[in-house]
Amino acid sequence: MRNEEVFFYKLMLLCGYPEELNQAISTALDHQNPIEPDILDLSACRGDVKKQLSVLNAILARNGEDLLDRKVIFELMRRFLHQQYVAGMDISILVKLMYRIAKETGWHDEEPWNSLFLMEDYYDDAQWGINGMEDFRHQLECLLTPTSFERDCAVPLVNTNNEEEITMSNLNMFAQKMFDAGVCDARGVAFCATAVKLPDGAFGMVLMGVVGNELSLYDTDMKSTVGKHLYTIPLKEVTDLQITNGMLAEIFRGYSFKFTYDGFEWKFKNCAQQKEQLDVIRREVK
């Protein structure tokens, strides 16, 4: 077995899915000739998770755990989680499993593992109505399905220059559309975010755009339609601006930010792939 597979099966044991390793052992016993010594060792203690973990840890120590290709491990994990999703695993159980897996890797502060780690929080937000359940399912499928992950999230498992050009082209088309609608100026600062709470008590998805020193908020939908104008905020009067990435910047939940204006604390999150736009806001506030 490759080192990455060994680590994957270790995670499966730690998370309560020994059948993944046992199936791999059975397949190897049926097809390998001669059979790898490591397979024989794992087969000898089948049914004893602690002993199997000991064997796997010994293999990792021998081969060098620091040489693991994390992208390969994530792809193995993604396939496993996608199988559970397609098989109908309850979403509440699935997101808890994703959290557990990310935590067990020790890499949960790094992408793409942080996306797994925080998906349970995103699900909770959807249940409470802070985000739409449809939006949550879209983001979940982006994470679990490689084709939609590459297309919608601009973080392909295998990068190509062509894919990057397509993503940038789409971004420019959106900015041009927002400029034509008067939502933003020539800098192209326009994006959707989730308002945690607005002064009138409303919350949910809003479209935001910057013209000069003013940040405007509009009602919108999943297609980024420019709806009713809600608020205009002069950025020079904003105080206490804080922008955080929460380790999911550029991918799913994205950046969050908050500030104080007119005696109210405005909070927004899910600003995916908006680092440059938020940098413009930061400069305007200063």
Q: Report pLDDT for 169.
A: 39
Q: In this structure, what token pair is assigned to residue 120?
A: 């349970």
Phi, then psi, of 201 in degrees rounded to 5: 90, -5
* CA pair distance 93, 103, nearest whole angstrom: 15
Four-way CATH pick for 174-285: 3.40.50.300, 3.40.50.720, 3.20.190.10, 2.30.29.30: 2.30.29.30
Query: Partners of 243 in the beta sheet?
Result: 257
3-state secondary structure of 224: coil
Q: How many CA atoms lie within 13 A of 29 on its CB side?
A: 13
Instruction: Kindly give the interhelix angle for 18-31 and 3-14, rounded to the nearest 10 degrees.
Output: 140
Rg value, the chain, Cα: 23
- Domains of the chain, by residue range, sit at 174-285
Burial of 169 (C-beta count, 10 Å sphere; 0-12/13-18/19+)? exposed
Tens digits of pLDDT across the chain (286 residues): 788 999 999 999 999 999 999 999 998 898 888 899 999 999 999 999 999 999 999 999 998 877 888 888 998 898 899 889 888 999 999 999 999 999 999 998 888 888 888 889 889 888 888 777 888 888 888 788 653 333 333 333 233 333 333 333 344 677 888 888 999 988 889 988 889 889 998 888 899 999 999 999 999 876 778 999 999 999 999 999 998 764 444 444 467 899 999 999 999 987 765 778 888 999 999 7
Q: Output the CA angle 241-244-246, nearest 5 degrees.
A: 160
* CA pair distance 264, 124, nearest whole angstrom: 25
* CA pair distance 191, 3, nearest whole angstrom: 42
Q: Report pLDDT for 253.
A: 46
